[in-house]
Structure 1
């Protein structure tokens, strides 16, 4: 056969799947609504509110509230995900649960604003955590449901932009509105949550699920699978889970105490620290957005996930260690710049990697809920661990601990075999 005829008979290269721009954009804005809650309440409002309630025990109270909220969310998300997977309605499998999460989360935020004791703050925050975490889980399930694997990192990058915009925008929002009243800050956050998630369900309605085959009958094995997926049977999922857990454990040990680090370690006054939060957030946003845009598209074009996740994890660890060497506002800005670059890349690629190692596409929301434990469990462990370290040893060892955790997280990505 001649070279010409061989070329003529060679099969054409498969075309790259097209990206649904309306779905991708709407998903990004919905992500803003979820993460503005954690940017505003999780980073600023709770810390400020608990300091007002009891200034002498602010660190311990914040650790307890964050830990309890994360535990409840960790247990609730796989359960909510299972019910979403099993939902058969003309509105689809995800829409009813996204709307329920938005409304319940908004009510929880208002209740948190009206709380005047540590106990009522903790209970109300648990409601917020369960609702918003589960709604965000439904949004993540849209990726394996409706986005081809070959372009998931690009779509994840847009979703990551929403994450950054929500986290940083929430910090700006809280810093601007706290002086005008706690209820106004929480109420505005709740309104954004409801508007963005409702808009997503209207603009990008889910496919009716009434015609799908009936869900599997509930069994003890299925219920056990809500919180456990066999590492022996699904090793790639287990390694991805552990890598995410270790990275976020290191990340949250520092970011959860950011306001107090600026006050007590860097030495800023209370008002100065509050003013510095948006500045640090702006640096994270600028570097994170640049990294998201580049890494998401590059990962899809190269068809590679692991190198990006490893590099991002190490870069985040490096950023978290900077304040140990440079204990100043400049050091915090360098931490924000490096952390933003790393976290932007991580946000773009990690979700795509996780969706490609799920044990079952049929149980995507439930399995993503299990993967979500790796995101929520550090929120339980990190405040308690950080509280013990800070109280007994001070802030310096905290940064070294965060760096070590990130390095271990990067190493866990290496054994994954089904994704390159």
Structure 2
């Protein structure tokens, strides 16, 4: 029977999404870099920020789909999804304490052991542990949250429910403006406390006010093989990226420091870095498709190219955001880098919101690939402006183009994916792209961080323009590969 949920039911259903998005807008681009800067030498801050971030992403890449499968089979009295949200959120709060506890190890006697054995401080080890644990718990709860709309909302209201969810995902970009000054003042525990409150309150809103019907009996679906697939796909992405990083480091070592000009070094090492990033995505997606969809992969070339172009774009925009605060600090030399970085995020959010609202309509009228071409070119212009930015207004101008490009991309690209995925297996196919989204962050950050530190050591501040130029190259590649995609339904 057709029933309608009230607007506040749709709001509380996705309430926990606000807590998840608040944390993601604070931890990766702001809190993590600020803490790494406290714990490690400044000349290595990009490398170790990338290390911690990538370790967390690798865990997320495996945990979320596995937790999604487990929640599908849950027969808990509270429902399939809410127990995962409840326990995941409570563990999030606990593991935020672990991240905060890293501050207490700055003068620990363990520092000498970790420095002599691994070249890192005890605080960084505790931070790494906290981030990994937080990724586990966060993806437990996120797996539950993502299953609520299809479980609880009937098809005729899912568009509205998804729209509210999207607003709650984007809204924290504005709220972070209130938090960033606290990071500039090094009030880390206050920031962590705010995140704990967001996790707790939003979780309670969703768990208390959402009603689920428990499963009567567990579905007879085996989980062993899919779990092994997820593990294998994670290993593929991490392994391929580490191989690419070795190539980049080797190319830098092959060039004699005394006789190689700076321009040639930037050109050669930068080109190898771009090839490494793009190559990691190509190889990762190819093997990921073999693992995820098996023999059907050879008949789904357009879908695979769609995943490649999606990852190229996501790797570029995500990594640009992650290194923005160090760029603002080292190149613009402002006293409040976290706050200025949040201004950039807010500008991106405003223009992303505008184009994402229009993008779906325009992609139906103009065609997916035309809009994706415009998205890639706009984002490329954004990275070009950021590459040459020397003032705050220039940085904010780059955010205008990045926001326009990203909003256009997000609306048109997913529509294209739904066009290409076979209807009867759409969930399985689109799940590959969701899983590989974490792979995009692994590729862009694990190579970009060490590259930034390498060039910063040669000339202070040089590393950021180099990696932003490489991310611009990824945007262009996402456009140049669009002709590989053959669209049957819309064009």
TM-score (norm 1): 0.81
Matched residue, 2:225: 220
Matched residue, 1:7: none
d(CA) in 1 for partners of 2:200 and 2:4?
30
Is residue 71 of structure 1 aligned with residue 58 of structure 2?
yes
* Number of positions where the alignment pairs a residue of Structure 1 with one of Structure 2: 399
Shift of 1:218: 3.6
SS at match of 1:232: helix
Shift of 1:392: 3.2
Matched residue, 1:318: 381
- Alpha-carbon contact 2:344-2:395 (below 8 Å) kept: yes
RMSD: 3.5
Matched residue, 1:14: none
d(CA) in 2 for partners of 1:104 and 1:359?
37
Q: 5+ residue gaps in structure 2?
A: 106-122, 234-290, 456-462
Matched residue, 2:182: 176
Q: Deviations over 1:328-358 (max 9, x none)?
A: 3222101211222233344445556656766
Aligned partner (choices 327, 330, 333) of residue 264 of structure 1: 330
Shift of 1:249: 0.9
Aligned partner (choices 276, 279, 299) of residue 340 of structure 2: 276
Higher relative contact order (CA 8 A, sep 6+): 1
Question: 1:190-205 counterparts in 2 under 5 A?
Answer: 190-205=196-211
Shift of 1:257: 0.7
Question: 1:364-403 counterparts in 2 under 5 A?
Answer: 364=427, 370-393=432-455, 394-403=463-472
Matched residue, 1:294: 358
- Alpha-carbon contact 2:59-2:136 (below 8 Å) kept: yes
- Alpha-carbon contact 2:386-2:398 (below 8 Å) kept: yes
CA 1:239–1:151 in 2, change beyond 3 Å: closer, same or farther?
Answer: farther
Aligned partner (choices 323, 330, 349) of residue 393 of structure 2: 330
Between 87-96 and 38-47, the greater mean CA deviation after superposition: 87-96
- Alpha-carbon contact 1:287-1:344 (below 8 Å) kept: yes
Matched residue, 1:121: 127
Shift of 1:53: 1.7
- Alpha-carbon contact 2:184-2:338 (below 8 Å) kept: no
Matched residue, 2:310: 244
Q: 5+ residue gaps in structure 1?
A: 1-16
SS at match of 1:92: coil
